[in-house]
Structure 1
Amino acid sequence: MNAIGVDVGGTKIAAGLVSSGGELLRSVRYPSSGPPEKLLENIARAVLEAGEGSEVGGVCLAVPGFILSKENKVIFSPNLRTIEGIPLKEELGRRTGLNVTVENDANAAAWGEFRFGTGRHVDHLVFLTLGTGVGGGVIIGGELLRGAQGAGGELGHVTIQATGPRCNCGNRGCLEAMASGTAIRRRALELAAERPDSALGQLAAERDLLGEDVTRLAREGDEAARRVLEEAGVWLGIGVAGFVNVFNPEMVAVGGGVAEAGDFILEPARREVQLRSMSPSRDLVEIRLASLGVRSGMLGAAALARHPSGECVLGG
């Protein structure tokens, strides 16, 4: 039987019909902007359109923010405040006629990589998604780590620099504040001002810098851009080293838009992990790029969708 995975982000809703083998059969997109009622309406429309004409066993919403799993409710979502406090299972179940499960978006993406992507051959996986923010998910012994309330696995909000920049969560020096796309842009603007003759500095004088600009300039050989990415990679590695020591994973998979910088970020991260994590964990772990890209959230959410009986629709 098929399941529907819905990846709800700050700007868009992506819903996909997924087969038991992890094949994305159909996908649709709607905006996530607007008041709560409009958001619910668009999610329901996306679900119904994705599943039209097919047998669907259940739906899982992958949503950003801190979730109370028993209540199927988001209590804090800095990038999508309109979703906070809504009884999502009840509201969307009523609109779609399907059994609805709610999961954190990074947890769902982690599960997608574990079931169908880079981590499908391991039992112990740490997943990080580097975008505007930093999300994370942990799989231990083939089980998704959720914590006592369902709010576990917030790897992006581990402090790695006590006096670092303010994070969106209100803390200072979180991994998100040091190695996200937002952090890279902030550091790129600082370095552009320090090195106005660099390609990075010249571009910053012409227009607003974007994260992808830094990656492009690094590939073209600009030393300032390469330094920005290397610094982000060092901070990423400091965070990952801690995760390696705590979770002893076989693999750390890194996804998200920032990961498109590839070895400009991953190589310094790998060096830090070797310097800072402990044997035997550091000798086992591989740090690799995630493979599913933007599909990870939909695929992982679908794999977490449940029948009314509580069984996963896609098994596993």
Structure 2
Amino acid sequence: MNAIGVDVGGTKIAAGVVTPQGKILKEVRYPSSGPPEVLLGNIVRAVREVGRGVDGVAAVCLAVPGLLVSSEDRVAFSPNLRTIENIPLREALEPEIGLPLTVENDANAAAWGEFRFGAGSEVDHLLCVTLGTGVGGGVISHGVLLRGAQGAGGELGHVTVHATGPRCACGNRGCLEAMCSGTAIARYARVVAAKRPDSALGRLAVRRRIIGEDVTELARRGDRAALSVLEEAGTWLGIGLAGFVNVFNPEVVAVGGAVSVAGELILAPARREIALRARPPSRDLVRVKEATLGPESGVLGAAALARDPESGEYVFGPG
């Protein structure tokens, strides 16, 4: 049987029909902006549209950003999509969708996608970090997704790595998200551009506001100012990952999300910090890799987390 995975982000809703082998048969996108009723309506429309004309769809999984209270299918806090907070999502959506609905954290879904179909498909112990506007994370140990007591576990982006660091979107200071996300890279870039006005980064900053993609592009062209920005972000990423390696002892750390397109420009300094800060034997086992599924990881992982309501088992079977 197939399943529908729905990945809700800060700007868009992506829904896809996925086979047990990880093939996306059909996919649609809708905006996630607007008040709660618009958001919910767009989720329903996305599921209905993507499922229309496709046979064998057994269930749906909705992957949502933020701290999830799984027993209530409710997001308690979502710094990048406040309109989704405190809505009983399964109760609100399942009657409209007409299929069994599971609600899961979006970063957990991305991690599960990489575990089932991507960079972690050959291991039982995977840590996945997604670098975008924010930083998300998921942990799989012995082939089981770690969710914690309430379903809110695995929030790797909101572990403090710099006690007096910049304010994070969650309200804390010095979270990993505040130090190596796309937002953090843009912040570093503005500071560096002001200090190095003769660099390509500095010249671009005079013309317009710099975003993370600009930094990666200029770094690839060899601009030293841009390279220093990614070096800074990669260093903080590695500091965070070193702690996670010590705690979870993963075989693979998969780094995905929009920022990960910088590749070795950000992963090389991260690996250096892991080598310096993580402890053996975990340090000597782990491999840090780019995630392989790209922007489809959320849809693929969500579909693979859809459950049969009678058995409680995943529609696609065990991991």
Q: What TM-score, normalized by structure 2, do the two folds share? A: 0.98
**SS, match of residue 137 in structure 1:** strand
Counterpart residue number, 1:81:
82
Q: Where does structure 2 lack aligned partners over 5 or more consecutive residues?
A: none
How far did 1:314 drift?
1.2
Alignment root-mean-square deviation, CA: 0.7
Counterpart residue number, 1:118:
119
Counterpart residue number, 2:9:
9
Partner deviation per Cα, 1:144-172 (whole Å, 9 max, x = no partner):
00000000000000111111000011110
**SS, match of residue 260 in structure 1:** helix
How far did 1:22 drift?
1.0
Partner deviation per Cα, 1:240-280 (whole Å, 9 max, x = no partner):
00000000000000001111111110000001000000001
**SS, match of residue 82 in structure 1:** helix
Counterpart residue number, 2:214:
213
Q: Distance in 2 between matches of 1:17 and 1:222?
A: 42
Task: Indicate whether 1:106 and 2:107 are aligned.
Answer: yes
Counterpart residue number, 1:139:
140
Counterpart residue number, 1:314:
316
Which one is further off, 53-62 or 97-106?
53-62
Q: Distance in 1 between matches of 2:36 and 2:59?
A: 22
Describe how 1:245-260 pairs up with structure 2 within 5 A: 245-260=246-261
Residue identity matched to 1:214: V
Counterpart residue number, 2:37:
37
Q: Distance in 2 between matches of 1:258 and 1:13?
A: 20
Describe how 1:184-195 pairs up with structure 2 within 5 A: 184-195=185-196
Counterpart residue number, 1:27:
27
Partner deviation per Cα, 1:122-147 (whole Å, 9 max, x = no partner):
00000000000000000000000000
**SS, match of residue 147 in structure 2:** coil
Q: Distance in 2 between matches of 1:7 and 1:130?
A: 16
Counterpart residue number, 2:151:
150
Q: Distance in 2 between matches of 1:190 and 1:68?
A: 38
Counterpart residue number, 2:285:
284
Q: Distance in 1 between matches of 2:258 and 2:37?
A: 30
Residue identity matched to 2:166: P
Counterpart residue number, 2:180:
179
How far did 1:33 drift?
1.3
Q: Where does structure 1 lack aligned partners over 5 or more consecutive residues?
A: none
Describe how 1:48-87 pairs up with structure 2 within 5 A: 48-53=48-53, 54-87=55-88
Residue identity matched to 1:254: V
Q: Distance in 2 between matches of 1:76 and 1:123?
A: 30
How far did 1:36 drift?
1.2
**SS, match of residue 294 in structure 2:** coil
Residue identity matched to 1:176: E
**SS, match of residue 294 in structure 1:** helix
Q: Distance in 1 between matches of 2:59 and 2:39?
A: 20
Partner deviation per Cα, 1:200-234 (whole Å, 9 max, x = no partner):
10110111111111011111111110000001100
Residue identity matched to 1:301: A
Q: Distance in 2 between matches of 1:151 and 1:184?
A: 26
How far did 1:96 drift?
1.1
**SS, match of residue 235 in structure 1:** helix
Q: Distance in 2 between matches of 1:81 and 1:232?
A: 26
How far did 1:91 drift?
1.3
Q: Distance in 1 between matches of 2:297 and 2:308?
A: 21
Q: Distance in 2 between matches of 1:50 and 1:206?
A: 41
Q: Distance in 1 between matches of 2:220 and 2:94?
A: 48
Residue identity matched to 1:148: A
**SS, match of residue 47 in structure 1:** helix
Residue identity matched to 2:66: G
Residue identity matched to 1:69: S
Residue identity matched to 1:51: G
**SS, match of residue 186 in structure 2:** helix
How far did 1:55 drift?
2.1
Partner deviation per Cα, 1:43-72 (whole Å, 9 max, x = no partner):
011111111122211100000000001111
Q: Distance in 1 between matches of 2:205 and 2:38?
A: 38
Q: Distance in 2 between matches of 1:11 and 1:217?
A: 26
Q: Distance in 1 between matches of 2:268 and 2:11?
A: 31
How far did 1:38 drift?
1.4
Q: Distance in 2 between matches of 1:52 and 1:20?
A: 19
Residue identity matched to 1:99: P
Counterpart residue number, 1:224:
225
Q: Give the number of aligned pairs.
A: 316
**SS, match of residue 161 in structure 1:** coil
**SS, match of residue 28 in structure 1:** strand
Q: Distance in 1 between matches of 2:14 and 2:305?
A: 16
**SS, match of residue 102 in structure 1:** strand
